[in-house]
């Protein structure tokens, strides 16, 4: 992604999901604080675009920040002028 000219701020923090474990109601008291930390780190980074390569983690990012994370390859595709496919 750096080859596209993007300035990258890497945030390395667990999303608290860990597959179905983090989606179970009985684990929310453990998973949500982890996701909140990730959300705060992303907000602190103040990026224009948020990327993540895990769909479940991207869901946690969206819930904690209100930002829609996209897959890194979508960012690279945009840099090369490739438009997303219509759904």
Q: For every residue of the chain, which 3-state class applies, written as one string? A: CHHHCCCCCCCCCCCCCCCCHHHCHHHHHHHHHHHHHHHHHHHHHCCCCCECCCHHHHHHHHHHHCCCCECHHHHHHHHCCCCCCCC
Residue 44 CB contacts under 8 Å (≥ 6 apart), including other chains: none
Would you state the pLDDT for residue 10? 92
Average pLDDT, the chain: 90
Express each pLDDT in 19-45 by its tens digit. Answer: 888 888 999 999 999 999 999 999 999
> 54: which 2 tokens?
């895990």
Would you state the pLDDT for residue 70? 93
pTM for this predicted structure? 0.84
Percent of the chain having pLDDT more than 70? Answer: 99
Would you state the pLDDT for residue 62? 96
């Amino acid at each position: 992604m750096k080859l596209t000219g993007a300035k990258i701020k890497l945030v390395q923090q667990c999303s608290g999901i860990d597959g179905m474990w983090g989606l179970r109601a009985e684990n929310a008291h453990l998973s949500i604080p982890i996701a909140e930390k990730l959300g705060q780190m992303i907000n602190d980074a103040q990026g224009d675009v948020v990327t993540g390569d895990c769909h479940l983690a991207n869901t946690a990012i969206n819930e904690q920040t209100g930002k829609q994370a996209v897959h890194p390859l979508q960012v690279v595709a945009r840099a090369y002028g490739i438009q997303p496919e219509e759904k």
